[in-house]
């Protein structure tokens, strides 16, 4: 769950034809094969039910510090990715995705094990805008955590303070 100090920035919505996109490849294979045509009578209604339930359980939320992705029907998973750990966010669109006007957003992080993306989000409405928003928030967070840029006056104050600490330690060492 979300920390009370965190602010929710955006809840991503998914396109309505995402289920059709997921059903299409198997439908094509079953249609091309002679044996698969009768299986279409099972695949389309059962596959449709499962894809609708899966999509209903999907959610993606951007907070000021992390990206939270929830999905699953039988086994529900929640991935929480700190924004400062994100190293790459790619937008992918294959031929079938272009037909359905969809994009896949892949998220890679520092320290992830294995190859490929840590998270794949297919069918987010305005995926390019969501990606830009995540990257902008990541940059904002990096600037906040790096603190103010040091100036000469600040450096002088630090040197003076360190000199005072050094003098104090020398006096303490001289005491019996």
For 126-132, the CB contacts below 8 A with 24+ separation are 127/91, 127/103, 128/91, 128/103, 130/10, 130/12, 130/60, 130/62, 130/105, 131/89, 131/91, 131/105
Q: pLDDT per residue over 10-54, tens digit each?
A: 999 999 999 999 999 999 999 999 888 899 999 999 999 999 999
Q: Is residue 172 part of a domain?
A: no
**Mean pLDDT computed over every residue of the chain:** 87
Q: With cut-offs at 50, 70 and 90, classify the pLDDT of residue 148.
A: low
CATH for 85: 2.30.29
Q: Is residue 26 part of a domain?
A: yes
Q: Is residue 3 part of a domain?
A: no
Q: Is residue 103 part of a domain?
A: yes
| Greatest extent of the chain over all pairs of C-alpha atoms, in Å | 98
Domain holding 134, by residue range, is 8-147
Look at the chain and report how many structural domains it folds into: 1
pTM score over 0.95 = no
Enclosing H/E stretch for 122: strand 119-122
- Distances 137 to 3, 5, 147, 161 between C-alpha atoms, Å: 17, 16, 16, 35
């Amino acid at each position: 769950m979300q920390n009370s100090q965190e602010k929710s920035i955006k809840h991503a919505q998914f396109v309505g034809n995402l289920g059709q996109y997921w059903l299409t490849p198997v439908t094509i294979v079953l249609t091309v094969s002679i044996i698969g045509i009768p299986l279409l009578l099972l695949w389309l209604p059962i596959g449709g039910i499962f894809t609708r339930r899966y999509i209903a359980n999907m959610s993606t939320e951007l907070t000021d510090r992390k990206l939270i992705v929830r999905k699953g029907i039988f086994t529900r998973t929640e991935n929480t990715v700190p924004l400062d750990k994100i190293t790459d966010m790619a937008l992918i669109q294959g031929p079938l995705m272009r037909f359905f006007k969809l994009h896949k957003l892949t998220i890679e992080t520092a320290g992830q094990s294995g190859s490929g993306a840590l998270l794949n989000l297919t069918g987010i409405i305005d995926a390019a805008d969501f990606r830009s928003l995540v990257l902008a928030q990541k940059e904002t967070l990096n600037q906040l955590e790096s603190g103010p840029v040091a100036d000469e006056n600040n450096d002088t104050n630090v040197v003076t303070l360190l000199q005072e600490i050094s003098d104090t330690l020398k006096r303490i060492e001289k005491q019996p």
